[in-house]
Amino acid sequence: MRIVFLGAPGSGKGTQASLLKERLGLAHISTGDLLRAQVAAGTELGRAAKEVMARGELVSDAIVLGMLEARMAEPDVANGYILDGYPRNSAQAVALDALLDRLGMPVDRAVLLEVEDEVLLVRIAERARKEGRADDNPESLRTRLTVYQEQTAPVIEHYAGKGNLRRVPGIGTVEDIHARIRDALA
């Protein structure tokens, strides 16, 4: 199975992707983790990304897609994958589809974790307390939610138009949400 997880910051994408990875034996691909690993490994794409980040700029879609293409060639991806938090905008969704179609690995399901903003604020505050992430504060979250609504929400329509979007309420216990995701994938 090939899955894309969508949802606002704090919706539980990473948590649920990790659980699903274990249950289904899929590769969990987080573009943030992938980017950090490529930079640490000193790969050609990692060096290019490091130069861009050193200038304070965002890493281009071309670099991210290159990293994704390299990752898709790794053996653990043969059983399927979970993309966590990517694509983030419509252009990335179209480019990702083209890449995955070319590789013969198109997305089977896009899972949207739906969570109200008030709940996200509580979750982010708790994550900040536990993990100390600098971007996990109420002001930053409000900005990230605005960006999400403006840029990422259209990705939801992209997958809905393809007929492979599954909306899952992201409220309740981790286990309850996970059960709903498994049902949505069945």
pLDDT tens digits along 8-54:
988 999 999 999 999 999 999 988 788 888 888 998 888 888 887 77
133 catalytic? Reply is yes
Q: Give the closest residue to 5 by CA, choosing from 186, 181, 183, 162.
A: 181
The answer, yes or no, to whether residue 135 has pLDDT greater than 70, is no
88 catalytic? Reply is yes
CA angle, residues 83, 31, 171, in degrees to nearest 5 = 55
Cα dist from 118 to 15, 16, 39, 154, whole Å: 19, 20, 35, 21
23 catalytic? Reply is no
SS3 assignment, position 169: strand
What does pTM read for this prediction?
0.86
Q: Tell me the per-residue pLDDT of 71-97, one tens digit each, with 9 for 90 and over.
A: 999 999 999 999 997 998 999 999 999
Q: Which of 23, 133, 142, 162 is catalytic?
A: 133
Structure tokens at 72: 């898709």
Dist CA 54 CA 6 (whole Å)? 28
Q: What is the mean pLDDT of the chain?
A: 90
144 catalytic? Reply is yes
What integer pLDDT is reported at residue 77 of this predicted model?
96
